[in-house]
Amino acid sequence: MAASMTRGTRAPPRPGDLSGEGTQGLPNLSLEPKQLPELIRMKRDGGRLSEADIRGFVAAVVNGSAQGTQIGAMLMAIRLRGMDLEETSVLTQALAQSGQQLEWPEAWHQQLVDKHSTGGVGDKVSLVLAPALAACGCKVPMISGRGLGHTGGTLDKLESIPGFNVIQSPEQMQVLLEQAGCCIVGQSEQLVPADGILYAARDVTATVDSLPLITGRLTPKSASPKSPRKLQALHCLQLPLPPHKASILSKKVVEGLSALVIDVKFGGAAVFPNQEQARELARTLVGVGADLGLRVAAALTAMDKPLGRCVGNALEVEEALLCMDGAGPSDLRDLVTRLGGALLWLSGHAATQAQGAARVAAALDDGSALGRFELMLAAQGVDPSLARALCSGSPAQRRQLLPRAREQEELLAPADGTVELVRALPLAQVLHELGAGRSRAGEPLRLGVGAELLVDVGQKLSRGTPWLRVHLDGPPLSGLQRRALQHALVLSDRAPFTAPSPFAELVLPPQQ
């Protein structure tokens, strides 16, 4: 099995051993790289880094010779000065080549799909979509990350399930795909280790909120970083090109995908403030993907309000399980089925997007997605009896099996009105203060901390009615925190209405 996972019989490189050839480690540098302080100073002053400079920096990150302060300084210099397309391409390839490359059985090629999101509040789509796609015949080797910014990431949510192990070797990933059809893992010492280090550093150096470099996500192993058509397409962006999203490409490159959907968020709690800016970026993303022979679609989805009703690691797992029961919030189900339908269509598993969405919906309703999730849990370290109890129990029983906060506090509506909006950003900021997110790399999270929305957008609300339940481990909410949360509730005088789907549009490859 191991032979089918890697090229040749060479042993995987040790972390920091970037002297190998081909896909095992970075190639030997033709030029002696500059010292790190010189590289930082060069980029700080707006200079351009050579291929040897960038690969030397990545090598220093992995082998430990780069100090944490130097890594942070370089990230900030790049954040402020940007990188041109060739620099970013080299950085992306260096990250991807810093570890072992994944190789799958040839028969799996059309089955391999994945989804990535630019991040949102309450976004637990991956937890539902990966097993749902597996139930539809796909293989989903999802390499995900921890929390960046306000609340936990996909791995943090899954680690609220006792025993869940996100660190899996390439060989173990193949076993997981054979057994469950999906896995959700993090970077290990074998898989893109350089990106794992930079990913954690960005979380605590205020370099997360830069405009993402989507291009890097789309470079396949065979693509030339100097492709004229790629350069022409990307210059139309008229945006700075910081590299923090090059990490997404480095994870997707090693997956060997057949199709990819990227969920590009826009709105008050997203990187992109408006749909027009997100659409311009999505069109360029999809056009470059088509030029490089990749089947990529970009969904534009609103992130003004939280997705679903729950925010917080364990609470989001509960809501994901509810969605896989065929129930749960309509906005979450809608987004899961639409993204899944697009992937099934792009990968040839469905004749149309609508048929693909119907297949995903059926997997949620008939229990097959939940069955795949249970298989994934057991295969990734969760005790089989616990996995079974989580996937077959009632919502109340599930809550007893997952981390819980010690206290709950409810907020009351300050006036009569219709819920026009629940702002996601202030809600996430308060939950971060309460321990649902991290401020330092490696900082433990309070997995039971979170919040439940007790109302829906469009609902009529009376003064004094509970609208938010906060789960917290520490002291009661401060006056400042309570005011921030109450500010998140926006009431209006209009009649009750049905909230629109967060899904705004899907940007497709030209030939589609």
Catalytic site includes residue 226: no
Q: Which two tokens stand for residue 72?
A: 């942070």
Asked if residue 284 lies in contact with residue 214, where contact means CB atoms within 8 angstroms, the answer is yes
Catalytic residue of the set 146, 252, 398, 438: 252
Integer Cα distance of 271 and 273 in angstroms: 6
Q: Which of 154, 205, 215, 250 is catalytic?
A: 154
Positive or negative torsion for Cα 44, 48, 53, 59: positive
Distance, in Å, from the CA atom of 348 to the CA atom of 35, rounded to the nearest integer, reads 49
Supply 274's token pair: 């408006």
Distance CA 178, CA 155 (A): 21
Per the annotation, the verdict on 117 as an active-site residue is: yes
Vertex 25 angle, CA 20 and 30, to 5°: 60
Q: What is the distance between the alpha carbons of residues 156 and 151, in angstroms, rounded to a whole number?
A: 9
Examine the residue annotation and report whether 124 is marked as an active-site residue of this protein: no
Q: In this structure, what is the dihedral angle of CA atoms 337, 340, 342, 343, given to the nearest 10 degrees?
A: -170
Rounded CA gap, 98 and 194, in Å? 6
d(CA 289, CA 390): 39
Say which of 79, 146, 202, 230 is annotated catalytic: 202
250 is catalytic: no
Residue among 244, 251, 265, 333 flagged as catalytic: 251
Known active-site residue 34: no
- CA–CA separation, 184 vs 23, rounded Å? 23
Is 116 considered catalytic here? yes
**Rounded Cα gap, residues 316 and 403, in angstroms:** 12
CA atoms within 13 A on the CB side of 341: 21
**139 catalytic per annotation:** no
Per annotation, catalytic residue among 88, 89, 92, 117: 117
How does 310-340 read in b/e, with b if 16+ C-beta sit within 10 Å? bbbbbbbbbbbbbbbbbebbebbbbbbbbbb
| 337 catalytically annotated | no
Identify whether 251 is a catalytic site residue: yes
> Of the listed 116, 295, 372, 398, which one is catalytic?
116
CA angle 148, 396, 335 (to 5 degrees): 45
Alpha carbon 498 to chain centroid distance?
Answer: 28
Active site residues per annotation: 114-117, 154, 202, 247, 251-252
